[in-house]
A and B are shown apart, each in its own frame.
Chain A
Amino acid sequence: MSEIFNLLLFQNTLRTATPVVLCAMGCLLSDQVGIMNIGVDGMMLMGAFFAVLGSYLFGSWAMGLLFAAGIGVLLGLFYYVFSIKFKSDEFIIGVALNILAGGLTVFLLRTLFGVKGSFSGPGIVPLPTIRIPWLEGVPVLGAVLSGNTLLVYVSWLLVLGIWVLLYKTPLGFHLRASGEAPEALRASGRSPERMKRLASVLCGLLAALSGAHLSLGYLTMFSENMSASRGFVAVACVIFGASNPPRVFLAALLFGFIDALGLRLQRYIPSDLTSMAPYVITVAMMVVVVLLRRKKQRSTL
């Protein structure tokens, strides 16, 4: 048992949960303004590719992040323009965006790098790891909480930041209003479209950064379809976290924990089954949360 349940398990949990946390925070913002973004998986994939591209071309992780952020902002804007300006079906745009991302990244992988499947190399600079000296002295916490990559800490700050933004600032109030009562917001002299644009751009940005964590965080490589439906897991986390940042964060951590546990169990159980578990459990958790919510509603009635 000690081989499975040790510190490494919790370190892995943070690693695997972080992309989902980042992406889920983006989805959450988009959800709050009333845009269902199921294109985040594609945005994550594009972010992963462009992060590797930037890092490789300039030999710097910061350029990698900048590239990912740039493509994320563009894709967020793209999603906004199509779903709000052109009034397209969000579902269709999301699916098409995922397919575009799958096609474009593979196409670029072959055209720019001339490789099939995956691209890795010494030229790709990974994200820096950050050590917190005063925490390292603490026995268990130090090993888990210190020495993670940059985006892990960013994701924690984001959870707090987005919660404050949404519930403690006027801007957050307007953001939420643009989803819940756009006409009321318009009547107060503010444009719900601008709020939606802002949220959609932030969603694209965060989804792309989550991709950067996938490709530069702990593996310095890009491989075809490396997002592996994590974007959809993030959407699921938002649904069962009821768009509340701390709850969504916990849901993503739970996913990361199951994923990490599966990795550690691979020595005993076929890897296909351990890879399958997080997805099945995510669906099961969605059901449980809906059931609990219903029960609560019934008891308040």
Chain B
Amino acid sequence: MSTGFLQSVRALIALKPKQKLTAQYLLSLGVAVLLAFLVGAGIMLLSGYDPITCYGAMFQGALGRPRALGNTLAKTVTLCLTGLAMSLAAKAGIFNVGGEGQLYLGGLAAAIVGAGMEGAPGWLIILCAILAAMAAGGAYAFLPGWLKVKLKVNEVVTTILLNTAAIYFCSYVANGPLKTAERGIASGTAMVSKAAWFTPLIRLSNLTTGVFYAAAVALIVWYLMTRSTVGFEMKITGTNERFARYGGIRAERLMLWGMVLSGMICGIVGFIEVFGLHHRFLTTISSEFYFDGMLVAMIMRYQPVGVILMSFFFAILNIGGSAMELSAGISSELMLIVQSIIIFFMAAEGGISEMVRAHAAARRVRRAAKRAERGQAL
């Protein structure tokens, strides 16, 4: 790429404020969160609960004790990785909604490797399991990516349908051919070799040494997206595909790679869940984790640093929501409602502020016209 081209691309991206997290955007985000909490409080009042007790229980349950904090941090890791997976693909101009299925397959592949390599040293098992998880997740993302790039088949629809297919497939494997012989496990595979288990960092919490693997992945993604040429090319492709092609970027290959990398990250999330938490593949390994991460990514406009920070907030809502259900008795799904309200506000933010601005401008014009009229009358 020539420097002239690079400069013009920089100018092009600078012209698109939607791509950046501006101060105004962050301010709107604060307002949106506040409003969403108020709506949540309204729902609590309507269903006969005290909002202050509920929200108190939520924050206490997410941050109050070391164990709770550990769980919140572990959740942050999951949200952050899935959010980054979404961001990476979205930045390249392709939407990966199939992370849930990729996560399942990655977890299953990791569990199979982990159980099959009984007796091998821990580090070797972990290495092989990571590779297997990445391969499974990546391959499952390659399919819709390839269909999108080569045949222009809508990737949002294919990835969603493939999610359902993957979850059923994993359920079949965990209930059928690879069902563990142990008693008391409803639907799961055999246990991963103990040598490879992650060690908990905070006692009794879900936070394990898996967080270091996650940190490494996050760092690589951050570097790839913001500091590398590939990331820059992806950004251009995502912003304006035709312009990118004009500049000699092989847009299709980048989109495909964005998708595959995204799938690999999802596979790694599955691997971390298996080796850190369940020590085997269970059909309940994820409850729509990817969709939570996807929301975080969308709210933060696919900016890696923003995604990492926002993950923590959403983890508080998530872990705190369950604690709130236990102590205050209100259904934790309320937090899903609050989260989606934040997203509605943020998605409409640009349009609403534009409307407000247009309205204000129209009023100014009207007032000026009136003043001018009065001036003439005098």
Is B347 a contact of A276 with CB atoms below 8 Å? no
- Cβ of A54 < 8 Å from any Cβ of B? no
B292 CB to closest chain A CB (Å) equals: 8
Is A100 a contact of B340 with CB atoms below 8 Å? yes
Instruction: Give every chain A residue within 8 A of B350 (Cβ-Cβ).
Output: 86-88
Is A100 a contact of B337 with CB atoms below 8 Å? yes
Q: How long is the Cα–Cα vector from A243 to B31 in the complex, in angstroms? A: 40
Contacts known (A103-B334, A279-B162); A96 close to B347, Cβ less than 8 A: yes
Is A86 a contact of B333 with CB atoms below 8 Å? no
- Cβ of A107 < 8 Å from any Cβ of B? yes
Q: How long is the Cα–Cα vector from A282 to B160 in the complex, in angstroms? A: 11
Is A294 a contact of B333 with CB atoms below 8 Å? no
Instruction: Give every chain A residue within 8 A of B19 (Cβ-Cβ).
Output: none
> Which of B151-159, B214-222, B234-242, B257-265 lies at the interface?
B151-159
Is A107 a contact of B153 with CB atoms below 8 Å? no
- Cβ of B327 < 8 Å from any Cβ of A? no
- Cβ of B14 < 8 Å from any Cβ of A? no
Instruction: Give every chain B residue within 8 A of A236 (Cβ-Cβ).
Output: 157-158, 161
B371 CB to closest chain A CB (Å) equals: 31
Closest to B177 in A: A270
Contacts known (A106-B333, A107-B334, A107-B337); A93 close to B344, Cβ less than 8 A: yes
Is A272 a contact of B171 with CB atoms below 8 Å? yes
The contact size tier of chain B is: 35 or more
Is A86 a contact of B348 with CB atoms below 8 Å? yes
Is A82 a contact of B337 with CB atoms below 8 Å? no
Instruction: Give every chain B residue within 8 A of A282 (Cβ-Cβ).
Output: 161
Return the contact of B340 from the options A99, A110, A276, A280 (Cβ within 8 A).
A99
- Cβ of A92 < 8 Å from any Cβ of B? yes
Is B158 a contact of A92 with CB atoms below 8 Å? no
Is B151 a contact of A283 with CB atoms below 8 Å? no
Return the contact of A229 from the options B95, B147, B161 (Cβ within 8 A).
B161
Within 8 A of A (CB), among B53-102: 95, 97
Q: How long is the Cα–Cα vector from A6 to B288 in the complex, in angstroms? A: 38
Within 8 A of B (CB), among A242-301: 270, 272-273, 275-276, 279-280, 282-283, 286-287, 290-291, 294
Within 8 A of A (CB), among B11-56: 43, 47
Instruction: Give every chain A residue within 8 A of B153 (Cβ-Cβ).
Output: 286-287, 290
Return the contact of A96 from the options B151, B156, B340, B355 (Cβ within 8 A).
B340
Instruction: Give every chain B residue within 8 A of A38 (Cβ-Cβ).
Output: 156-157, 160
Within 8 A of A (CB), among B80-135: 95, 97
10 pairs across A/B with beta carbons < 8 Å? A86-B348, A92-B298, A95-B298, A96-B298, A99-B339, A107-B331, A110-B331, A272-B176, A276-B165, A287-B147
Is A283 a contact of B337 with CB atoms below 8 Å? no
Is B347 a contact of A93 with CB atoms below 8 Å? yes
Q: How long is the Cα–Cα vector from A103 to B288 in the complex, in angstroms? A: 12
Q: How long is the Cα–Cα vector from A244 to B34 in the complex, in angstroms? A: 44
Q: How long is the Cα–Cα vector from A236 to B154 in the complex, in angstroms? A: 9
Return the contact of A87 from the options B295, B341, B354 (Cβ within 8 A).
B354
Is A280 a contact of B337 with CB atoms below 8 Å? no
- Cβ of B343 < 8 Å from any Cβ of A? yes
Is B352 a contact of A86 with CB atoms below 8 Å? yes
- Cβ of B202 < 8 Å from any Cβ of A? no
* A contacts with B, residue count (CB < 8 A): 43
Q: How long is the Cα–Cα vector from A69 to B95 in the complex, in angstroms? A: 31
Instruction: Give every chain B residue within 8 A of A110 (Cβ-Cβ).
Output: 331, 333
- Cβ of B175 < 8 Å from any Cβ of A? yes
B239 CB to closest chain A CB (Å) equals: 14
Return the contact of A88 from the options B97, B330, B340, B347 (Cβ within 8 A).
B347
Q: How long is the Cα–Cα vector from A233 to B43 in the complex, in angstroms? A: 32
- Cβ of A173 < 8 Å from any Cβ of B? no
B262 CB to closest chain A CB (Å) equals: 15
- Cβ of B168 < 8 Å from any Cβ of A? yes
- Kindly list the 7 A-B residue pairs having the minimum CB-CB distance in the complex, ordered from nearest: A103-B336, A86-B351, A272-B172, A276-B168, A86-B348, A88-B347, A100-B340
- Cβ of B243 < 8 Å from any Cβ of A? no
Residues 292-319 of B, flagged 1 when their CB comes within 8 A of A and 0 if not, give 0011001000000000000000000000
Instruction: Give every chain B residue within 8 A of A97 (Cβ-Cβ).
Output: 340
A251 CB to closest chain B CB (Å) equals: 13
Instruction: Give every chain B residue within 8 A of A273 (Cβ-Cβ).
Output: 168-169, 172
Is A107 a contact of B333 with CB atoms below 8 Å? yes
- Cβ of B232 < 8 Å from any Cβ of A? no
Return the contact of A275 from the options B160, B168, B331, B347 (Cβ within 8 A).
B168
- Cβ of A239 < 8 Å from any Cβ of B? yes
Q: How long is the Cα–Cα vector from A111 to B45 in the complex, in angstroms? A: 12
